[in-house]
Amino acid sequence: MVELIGATTTKTGLKVECALDTRTYEKGVKVSDAEMASLDITGDAFHPEWNYTIKPRRRKA
């Protein structure tokens, strides 16, 4: 899968880089509704459950 993603290009010159993350992550970490609501997530028109953009949080001055 990593090779397939990494080989992606477009006619306009976009090149995708991909790397496998082999780290181990803790299971069962719960994210609160308030934490989810604080994220700037915009779903795409095509399969928004798979395709979405998460924008960085703005730094507090």
Residue 7 confidence (pLDDT): 78
Q: How far apart are CA 29 and CA 18, in angstroms?
A: 25
Of 6, 34, 33, 31, the C-alpha closest to 20 is 6
4 within domain boundaries: no
The whole-model pTM stands at 0.47
40 within domain boundaries: yes
Q: What confidence tier does 58 reach under pLDDT thresholds 50, 70, 90?
A: confident
Cβ-proximal residues to 9 (8 Å cutoff; 6+ apart), any chain: 15, 16
41 within domain boundaries: yes
Q: How far apart are CA 41 and CA 52, in angstroms?
A: 7
12 within domain boundaries: no
DSSP tag of 46: S
20 within domain boundaries: no
Higher pLDDT, 34 or 61: 34
Domain that holds residue 38: 30-61
The number of folded domains in the chain is: 1
21 within domain boundaries: no
Q: What confidence tier does 4 reach under pLDDT thresholds 50, 70, 90?
A: confident
DSSP tag of 15: B
- pLDDT (tens digit, 9 = 90+) per residue, 11-57? 898 887 788 899 999 999 999 999 999 999 999 999 999 999 999 88
